[in-house]
Structure 1
Amino acid sequence: MTLAMTGPGAAPAETPLALQLQVDGVGGDARLRGELRQGEFSAKVLNSRLRVEDQVLDLDPLRLELLDGTVVARGTADFNDPANASFRFATNARGIQWGSPTALAADADFGLAGTLQAWALIGNATLTRDGERATLTLDGRGNNERMDLKALDVAMPTGTLAATGRIAWAPSLAWDIDSRLAGFDPGYFAAGWNGSINGHITSTGSARDDGGLEATLDLADLGGRLHGKPLDGNGHFTMSGASPTGDVARYQGELALSIGGSRINAKGSYGNRVDVDARFAPLNLQDLLPDASGTLRGTARVLGPAAGPDVRADLVGSNLKFADYSASTLTIKGELPWSRGDGQLAIRGDGLAIGAPVDRLVIDARGAVEQLRLSATAGREGLASLALDASLNHRGNRWQGNLSRLAVDMERGADWNLRAPAGFAWTPAPNGSSATLEQACLASTAGGSLCINADWPGRGLSVVGEGLPVALVEPYLPEREHRQPWLLRGELAIDAHIRPVGSGWDGEARITSAGGGIRNSERSRTELLSYDNLALKATFRPQGIEAELGTGFNGDGRIDASLRTGWDAWSPLSGQLSLNTRELTWMELFSPDIVEPTGRLNAQITVAGTRDTPQLGGQARLADFSTELPALAITLREGNVQLDAMADGSARIHGSVRSASSAGNDGNGVLNINGTLGWKGDETPLVLRLSGTDVLVSDTPDLRAVASPDLQLNYQIGQPTRLTGTILVPEAMVNLEGLDHAVSPSADVVVLDPVNPDDGPGAPLAMDLRITVGDDVRMKGFGLTGKVDGNMHLLARPGRELAATGAINVAGEYKAYGQDLTITRGLLSWSNDPVSNPVVNLRAERVIGEVTAGVDVSGRATAPQASVWSNPASSQPEALAYLTLGRPLSTLSGDQRGDLNAANAALTAGGGMLASQLATRIGLEDAGVTQSRALGSSVFGFGKQLSPRMYVGYGVSLLGTGQVLTLKYLLDHGFDIEIESSTLEDRGSINWRKEK
């Protein structure tokens, strides 16, 4: 049995109470189990037994599981003498827990025994918090009319609470409770309210003859500490409740409270009239509420009839925060009478988080509430700002007004403005309010208009849109590289009407457009995506909704869809989607590398199940797919990929595509695609496996590569994309000179207009790849002809640098400045190191007669150490001369050109110390490494300051690509002219430098 409980005529609760109960048994002997749930609270009835026989009730036992603990009740009640039934029950609770962030726990034992005319309630409990304990004892004696509370005592490390009194329920409800606090810590009962409170609290109450309730509560001599703050105060409250005949309840009270740095004084009454006066001098929210912060200072007064009081306020708040709401600043100043007068009330808020798309708010209200003139602005950074002017009048039970201005300024996209003033009205009623809005038309600065009028709930709401440009959505499309805009064409028309009927709706909505499309530039010959004769129709009925969509798609293609369902979450769902097209240029939207894709896309998708548990069926197929990837000089062709919906709510993806050279070179491996797509829950909705043998991945003059991948990609919403697997590269040819086109800016260059300064980091990626470089991977360029092979294990974690483990071997010959060097040892190794900083172990050498000279490079790539050697052994300058020139250093004297060549070769060998030695010998002022933009690489250069304003330098590329002559001339005010003339190109620049 499952029950959903609400009161008669009550609206459904946000968190309804649900009860599931299963009863098995014979006669009066029943076994129970079930569950009660409301929101996050739940209580389970474990296997329990209840027996009724001969007017005797037995619990044997009743077991409950709640608040992470258990409660067991056992006992017997004998009703053979209805006037004086006897009973004996015992209840034991263990491991009950509540509260956050500090967990509170309790164990308790209570017993109830006696007869209706004389019974006793005795018990005790132990409460635990942070390893400390409080004990509670209860002693109550009573009969069928009342209970005398002999003692309710609580003892904890900080003090005690002692309460006595009387509670009566016959002939009418009444109570008189007296409690004294001496170091009482409420944090054992309410998490976060730790303290040590002193005081005297009394409460009395009684039911009147007319059915109303009188009650009082007195707080006297409050002291001690709460939340670690000093506490002092007094309070008095009275209530005269309404009677069933319908008179008005009356409340009255006053409070003087000091806690921490807060001072609160308030007094007031509420009934037919309201009179409340409060002063905060100040109120620090964290003094009162554990999870709140900020300060509120000022006064507030509410005075007048309860249905329409005057308001006066002078409040200033700063850094306010409570639960999910906050305000950096909030001020409310002024007074606003209810019925007549010329009041002014100003509300200002900034840094707001109030559950609406608003972070700033300005409201100015003038006049009286019943004759109000209102100006307001609101907005949210990065979204929009709104400004309005309106008037409001109250006549009888009807509020009516006029909206004279409404302007919406969008941060992105077109703005909207109210064309003409529009009237509105609202009539509250106990059985449902009503509202009307005259025709209100908003015009867009991009063209078109949107008009709304309403008679709610009578005739309902009508929306009419005319000439609305499709370009209105352009600012919300994915941003393109270099911030280039999308070009959209087409207009939309909207005609919709809806009204409430019972728990459903009745009406119709239509969206139509003759045609439209999207291009990525003015020069594009074709549109990436286009449609024609678009028609979307939705029909609303009390029983549910029916929707149909039809449009031509990309020329000869077509999209048709339909959907039918009810208004409830459990309503049956029925839908179909049919798509077919031979025009696939829209795929270029997903990647700028795809050019002129062709093929056929057909899809037949069905939707079934219910709204809260949809089930997808059908399939989609991409056939005969082909496209060019010019950046890689390859063609993808013979592509066939199919998606099949499965009964478990997932879809299977399978297919393949062939990669071939655009130039007709060898290589045409097949890449296989397999995987699953899930749309139930967030756990791994997309899993793709990409595998193949000898797949051509690039065939440009700079890079030709063949790979055999076996990769798995896992995509999950809110989680880093995971890429795992292996890649074998059996064959590749790398042209180093062709790949080295980019030149990094020098350290003193500041880029004033980066391509996209607002771009944030890309989607996080977790990668675990093992790469094997085969024995036919070659490279050439900059004088190097060689091969590489080896293995690498790449690991990437979000927020961490890409790391590697493994080794790559390098072998071959290096030719520079007319010298032939053989690489006899070449090794790059990583041990969970950043991939950009391997350990280098390199040796290159040459043989000159009986002398072998070489260079060794070792250490980290970011800080390599180079040394020159020879066999037989000699000094480093001598070995350097043999290595680069094939003769000893002594033969260079008297020849400046030879000195420069020797210095250049010295730096190529990696010795900064050697370069400085040679510069000194030659007699120039400086020698070192600089960056040449004309050569596009580092150079070793010599220079001399010919005058305080003129510098002349000469350098040779470290990679052997040429020489460069540099002239710098210093102008005034930090400007200088720099001219470079090289064997590759000539460059000139005007530079400005400001030192701080």
Structure 2
Amino acid sequence: MSAQNTSPQSPARPERSAGRRLIRWLWRVLAATSLVIVLALATVTGLLGTVSGTEWLLTRATNLLNTESRQFSYDRSQGTFLRGLNLQGVRWIDDSMDVRAAQLHSRWNPMTLLEGTFNLESLRLTGLQLTLAESDAPPEPAPPLVLDDILDSFLPLPIAIDIYNARFDGIRIQSGDTSVAINLLAFSAHLQGRQLSIDSLELDSPPAHLEAALNLTLEQPYPVEATAKWHYDEVLLENTQPPSGELTLTGNLDRLQLEHSLRGIASVLSEGEVTLELARFLNAQAEVIDPRVDLEHTLEPMQVPGMDSYDIRALRLRTQGSPDDLGLFAAAQINAEISADVALEADMNVRAYLRGSTLDIDELALRSTNDGRLLIAGEVDWSQGVQVTLDYSITDPTPTSYIASIPESIRLRELASQGSLSLSQAENESLQLQFMMAELSANLNDFDLNGSGGLRFDGDEWHVQDLAIATGENSLRLDARVEPEQSIRATATVDAPSLAAIYPDLDGRLQVDAQVSGTVSEPVIELDASASNVRYGEYLIPEMTITGQNRGGMNEIEMQTGNIRVPVGESVETVESLQLRLRGAPDAHSLLLLVQSSLGSARINADGGTISNGWQGRLLNSEISSEFGSWAQQQSTSIVAQSERVSMAETCWVMRDTRLCLDGELSGGEQLDANARLENYPLSALNLPATERSLQQIGGIELHDESEAERYRLPFSLPPDLALAGRVNVSAQVAGLISSIDQLDIQAEIDASGGSFYFIGQTVPEDLEGADAAAALAEPEVSQFRWPVLTGSARLQNGDWQLDSLLRFTQEDPDSSAVIQGTATTSVGLAADRSLSGNLQLDFDDIAWAAALAPQISEVSGQLTGRMNLQGSMDAPVLVGDIDLTGASVAVPILGIQIAAIDATLSSRDNSLVELNGYAESGAGSLNFGGQLRNPFDERREFSLQVAGSNFTVADLPDIQAAISPEIRLQGNLEGIELSGQLFIPSVDARINTLPESAVDVSSDTIVINQPASGEPVRNAAIADTGLLGNTPVSGEITITLGDDVRISGFGLNAQVSGELDITQRPNATPLTYGELEVVQGSFETYGRVLTIEQGKLLFMGSYDNPAIDIRAVRQVENMRVGVQMNGTIQNIRSDLFSTPSLSDGDILAVMITGRPMSEIGTEQDGNALVGAATSLGINQTQGIVTQIQDQLGLDTLSIDSRGDVSDSSLMLGKYITPRIFVRYAVGLFETESSLAIEYTVNDRVKLEATSGQSQSIDLTYTVEQ
């Protein structure tokens, strides 16, 4: 070791020792510093992170906050300052407020500080009560507030602050007698640097609610962007929605751009600028806040709340200025229905200024569309009480244009008026009111109208001041005062010698002199009024007088008139006398009304008097007699009419065995309780007297005695041939609020059990059928149906309706001892939400009663049963159930058929489908039918019907028998109908012996432009703009096939026809028909000669009423074969003659008709036959043939005269006996009429003609040449 110590390196040792000392010193400093830090952290953690440390800090903080003028305390604490703190029972008291909170909860995350952000995760305050102290002492002056200095003292913060969930529940603020409750105040906010963002702010203070967001820069001028939505739960005005709105703000606290949208009470959009200078005020740059606005408000068209007949179609309001001088400028369009007859359309303009407690109205103008104008100007001041001073002026050239119902005969023009209105009421003083109409002028029915007057109230006295109106010779004057202690002084005079000047439709004279004195409760009336020759249209009052006198302290007013002419329907009735007498004082008087007229008489007697807020009296007796019955009141009854109550005790009127009773009470203007009963009313009152007489004559049926028949009648009646017998009882009760039917409780019951229904129909004798049966339908027969039970009831309760009915009826069969019975019950419920429930049940042993519904049918039998359940709602009802008709039959005498074995079922399972299926037999054939109706209660409803059958007889008359075998499908909807399928006609045997009147048709090119509602339709004529089924488009394709047994005979034709037609129908177009009908075999007889039809075809190439024809008819006479070939169309037939061997046309026709050639014809009868044949067959060579016949017979003239209708055509034959005498003979081709005429020519100008036929005449003709 010693060697080592003496080594050469030993001199460096002192330097190494100094470095070690430095390291040891640094280590000790670091250790001491770390210890201090650890001790500091341990101390902070002990204070902030432990409960005891937190409580110690809270105690120290409480001691620092508490002074003599303020006090802070809490009941209990939980948590720590490091993670979150909960305080319960928190209280702060100082001179200005008392703040208490049930609980304060906070939670934060200190670790986020390492990221430069302080996150307040939760802050909740519940049960906050803030009581503000009231003080009369003025606040002590405070140094000016400079917000920027305050903000600069701590902003920008070195860290960001996030508040995620701040929530204050149950806040209550009390200041004196004012209390504000806030259920919830919640927000989330972020502060970074000088930028404050409130992402969501929610305020719930029922009935108001607010949601908002805000971005604010905390540096002058404090730029801001904010949005807010609010709504109010309560309805502020009737018939409106609760108000709500949306607000957008941009700009800064000195000047803001505002946009606000209001909904609910009205739809208003407000836009503009609000100048506050708030930033300057908060920084001591302005002494006061001086807000100024420049806003424009636009109102969407709306009805004025609570006034449905008033519409504001457009309104724009501009507000400019400050609260001390705010200008209001408005323009609006108003549509007002003041009443059912008075309507006004006007533009409104307002220019006014609000200056403190004064509103200066420079102009309020209403200008109508007819140049009418109302101008109002003045001042409203409410600084000391209320004072209103307004001047008005009205000008309108056509004031009656606003009144829809005013008669055209009243012409009021050039209306003008000026005046003023003043109203004032100081505090604790009475109202002062004065209205002065300084001028009123107009032109009424070409007479000048002038007027003036006023109304004044000085707090004690009302005074109508010198009201005077005059037009033409007519004048009205009125002066009235109601003085203190309710004394009255009033005089009125009316002198109208020409009522037509007031109302041109009214004529006559009226004079009135009236004076009223005394008091309101005991007036003294002196009245003298008369009218003479008062006429209004067909109404006429020759004389009427009204007198009023005070006799022995009792006022007596009496009106008398008579011989009044009153138009009723198409007749004029007369009121022979009418007398109304009112006697007594307001608190005790009587009334008597007597009426005697050609319609009946009435007497009403009542007494009563005024009571508090109304009138109370008795209806002593009343009688009404007319041709509809005589009703008399059974007993006196009381009547009360007050502002809050109107009632009538039960009052009954009787007419023989019938009673009608009424009673009711209306309370509070809304609550109604009423009852009505009609007992033992005869159903025969609905019958026509003529029908009852027919029942007595035909069946010996007496419904009642003659005196009762004349006593019970109604102004309306059943149709002829229908009658009722029996009695009906009706009762009804109504209770609830009349403001809404849903709040009423209504119950009604009807009972008409034990009645009968009579029907005078027509029957067919059993030994007649076919045409004879149709002619015998005039024989009347009485059918009677009895119903032992017929009841019904209706009930409305809580907005729900329940309707029920029950019908049971019987009918005796005169041919057997059987009794037909039937039952029908219904039960329907309609709930307040419009939902439906109920059912219908039918159970009829026989439906013979159906014959009463259609006189064309008879011998109806069968059973009808069914049950239908009603579900769904009024908007979408659902019917579920079945109605079955079984074993039914019906005779159709007009067709000579009996349809038997009828079975049909109508069924429904939901509201989307109703199905019909059925079967029927007629003759040797049968028919099946089925159909569907989809969506029956919807506009999209559509239907389909299928009919299939075989050899179903549709006619069985002596003149025609026919059967069909259809296979047809019909479907459609509201847009159109489509028909398709096949119709096979296996057999027809038609024998046509006569032609109906319609055999001569209207030209097919006829178009009816306007068909009168009461006029008969024109056959074969088209209706302009109308399709096959009126306005319903029809389309489809159907094939008609004739069978092997289709035969037609008549008018010489006897043919068997076969073929097939295809008929196509397009919407609103003429049907197109294609196909061919062929005469299989047949013959045609004319003029006693029979032609054999060798070939006969009808070719349809589109037109259904004008087919092409190809017919060849021949006759064999010895060795000659002659015939006619017809071609062309039905409406344009071309005929050609042919023969073997070849003959002339005249010989062919002569052989065809007479069996001999033309040269062998020698009689006029044969000649007539040839001409008629040539004309009727439409032969092209007619003129040549007629010439040959004329030469053969030696006639001078031979022609066909077809003047007028074709049926009037006649054959004309003429021969000159001498050069001046001409004999003419005419014989009808279609009518068995003939005439003989002789013409004698005197000279070139004079001709004498004598005619003898259906009528005789002699004519002298003189000719003048010009």
**TM-score, normalised on structure 1?**
0.65
CA contact (8 A) 1:904 1:940 kept: no
Q: Which of 30, 33, 52 does residue 229 from structure 2 map onto?
A: 30
More off after superposition, 651-660 vs 78-87: 78-87
2:823 pairs with 1:558: yes
CA contact (8 A) 2:455 2:462 kept: no
Q: Which amino acid aligns with 2:883?
A: R
The residue that corresponds to 1:406 in the other structure is 625
Distance 2:374 2:608 in 1: 56
2:717 pairs with 1:452: no
TM-superposed deviation, 1:329: 5.7
2:962 pairs with 1:703: yes
CA contact (8 A) 2:498 2:507 kept: yes
- Whose helix fraction is larger, Structure 1's or Structure 2's? 2
CA deviation map 1:358-415 (0-9, x unaligned)? 998959522434544332669xxxxxxx633213344434253543342244xxxxxx
Q: Which amino acid aligns with 1:343?
A: M
The residue that corresponds to 2:899 in the other structure is 635
Q: Which of 175, 200, 207 does residue 424 from structure 2 map onto?
A: 207
Distance 2:1065 2:458 in 1: 75
The residue that corresponds to 2:945 in the other structure is 690
Q: Which of 569, 584, 593 does residue 373 from structure 1 map onto?
A: 593
CA contact (8 A) 1:121 1:140 kept: yes
CA contact (8 A) 2:1154 2:1166 kept: no
Q: Which of 452, 464, 468 does residue 236 from structure 1 map onto?
A: 452
Distance 1:468 1:652 in 2: 43
More off after superposition, 587-596 vs 918-927: 918-927
CA deviation map 1:696-734 (0-9, x unaligned)? 36143433333333224769xxxxx98653464232544
CA deviation map 1:254-311 (0-9, x unaligned)? 44579xxxx98655467766847485966799x9xxxxxx834456567566999866
Which has the larger Rg?
Answer: 2
Distance 2:401 2:685 in 1: 61
CA contact (8 A) 1:300 1:315 kept: no
TM-superposed deviation, 1:35: 13
Q: Which amino acid aligns with 2:659?
A: C
Distance 2:207 2:1038 in 1: 63
TM-superposed deviation, 1:779: 5.1
TM-superposed deviation, 1:168: 0.3
Counterparts in 2 of 1:877 and 1:264: CA distance versus 1, 3 Å? farther
Q: Which of 811, 820, 824 does residue 1092 from structure 2 map onto?
A: 820
More off after superposition, 810-819 vs 458-467: 458-467
Q: Which amino acid aligns with 1:468?
A: P
CA deviation map 1:231-271 (0-9, x unaligned)? 9654435344797x9x879687444579xxxx986554677
Counterparts in 2 of 1:162 and 1:500: CA distance versus 1, 3 Å? closer
CA deviation map 1:128-169 (0-9, x unaligned)? 9xxxx9997653223132222335678999989695732304
* Aligned residues between the structures: 836
Pairing 1:465-504 to 2, within 5 Å after superposition: 465-466=679-680, 468-469=682-683, 472=686, 486=721, 491-494=726-729, 496=731, 498=733, 500=735, 504=744
TM-superposed deviation, 1:780: 1.0
CA contact (8 A) 1:819 1:884 kept: no
2:505 pairs with 1:295: yes
TM-superposed deviation, 1:907: 4.0
The residue that corresponds to 1:145 in the other structure is 357
Task: Give the match's secondary structure for 1:702.
Answer: strand
TM-superposed deviation, 1:815: 0.8
Task: Give the match's secondary structure for 1:583.
Answer: coil
The residue that corresponds to 2:921 in the other structure is 660
- Whose strand fraction is larger, Structure 1's or Structure 2's? 1
Counterparts in 2 of 1:192 and 1:925: CA distance versus 1, 3 Å? same
The residue that corresponds to 1:985 in the other structure is none
Counterparts in 2 of 1:256 and 1:422: CA distance versus 1, 3 Å? same
Q: Which amino acid aligns with 1:391?
A: I
The residue that corresponds to 1:511 in the other structure is 751
Pairing 1:841-852 to 2, within 5 Å after superposition: 841-842=1108-1109, 844-846=1111-1113
CA deviation map 1:504-563 (0-9, x unaligned)? 568874525246454555989996754334455678989988775445344454334456
TM-superposed deviation, 1:624: 3.0
TM-superposed deviation, 1:654: 0.8
Counterparts in 2 of 1:774 and 1:558: CA distance versus 1, 3 Å? closer
Distance 1:161 1:506 in 2: 50
Counterparts in 2 of 1:688 and 1:75: CA distance versus 1, 3 Å? same
TM-superposed deviation, 1:112: 1.0
CA contact (8 A) 2:623 2:632 kept: no
2:1177 pairs with 1:909: yes
Counterparts in 2 of 1:673 and 1:896: CA distance versus 1, 3 Å? same
Q: Which amino acid aligns with 1:26?
A: E
Gaps of 5+ in 2: 1-205, 213-226, 279-286, 305-309, 336-344, 483-487, 549-554, 584-590, 610-615, 667-672, 699-717, 739-743, 764-779, 811-819, 1002-1012, 1018-1028, 1215-1223, 1237-1251, 1255-1266
TM-superposed deviation, 1:955: 6.5
Identity %: 11
Counterparts in 2 of 1:241 and 1:299: CA distance versus 1, 3 Å? farther
Distance 2:394 2:748 in 1: 66
Q: Which of 241, 252, 270 does residue 73 from structure 1 map onto?
A: 270
2:608 pairs with 1:344: no
CA contact (8 A) 1:557 1:581 kept: yes
The residue that corresponds to 1:994 in the other structure is none
TM-superposed deviation, 1:803: 6.0
Aligned alpha-carbon RMSD (Å): 6.5
Pairing 1:219-234 to 2, within 5 Å after superposition: 220=439, 233-234=449-450
Task: Give the match's secondary structure for 1:513.
Answer: coil
Distance 1:739 1:45 in 2: 85
The residue that corresponds to 1:16 in the other structure is none
CA contact (8 A) 1:487 1:521 kept: no
Counterparts in 2 of 1:877 and 1:439: CA distance versus 1, 3 Å? farther
Distance 2:1101 2:357 in 1: 89
**TM-score, normalised on structure 2?**
0.53
Q: Which of 47, 60, 68 does residue 259 from structure 2 map onto?
A: 60
CA contact (8 A) 2:749 2:791 kept: no
Task: Give the match's secondary structure for 2:851.
Answer: helix
Distance 2:662 2:368 in 1: 62
2:90 pairs with 1:90: no
Counterparts in 2 of 1:541 and 1:900: CA distance versus 1, 3 Å? same
Distance 1:442 1:235 in 2: 54
Q: Which amino acid aligns with 2:968?
A: P
Gaps of 5+ in 1: 1-20, 288-293, 320-327, 379-385, 410-415, 444-448, 716-720, 748-757, 946-950, 959-963, 969-977, 981-996
Distance 1:363 1:678 in 2: 58
Counterparts in 2 of 1:143 and 1:407: CA distance versus 1, 3 Å? same
CA contact (8 A) 2:399 2:415 kept: no
CA deviation map 1:611-632 (0-9, x unaligned)? x779555423214353234336
Task: Give the match's secondary structure for 2:843.
Answer: strand
Distance 1:126 1:534 in 2: 59
Pairing 1:580-599 to 2, within 5 Å after superposition: 580-599=843-862
Distance 2:255 2:463 in 1: 44
Task: Give the match's secondary structure for 1:693.
Answer: strand
CA contact (8 A) 1:390 1:401 kept: no
Pairing 1:128-139 to 2, within 5 Å after superposition: 138-139=350-351
Q: Which amino acid aligns with 1:703?
A: A
Q: Which amino acid aligns with 1:635?
A: I
The residue that corresponds to 2:544 in the other structure is 334
CA contact (8 A) 1:535 1:550 kept: yes
Counterparts in 2 of 1:274 and 1:529: CA distance versus 1, 3 Å? farther
The residue that corresponds to 1:853 in the other structure is 1124
More off after superposition, 528-537 vs 870-879: 870-879
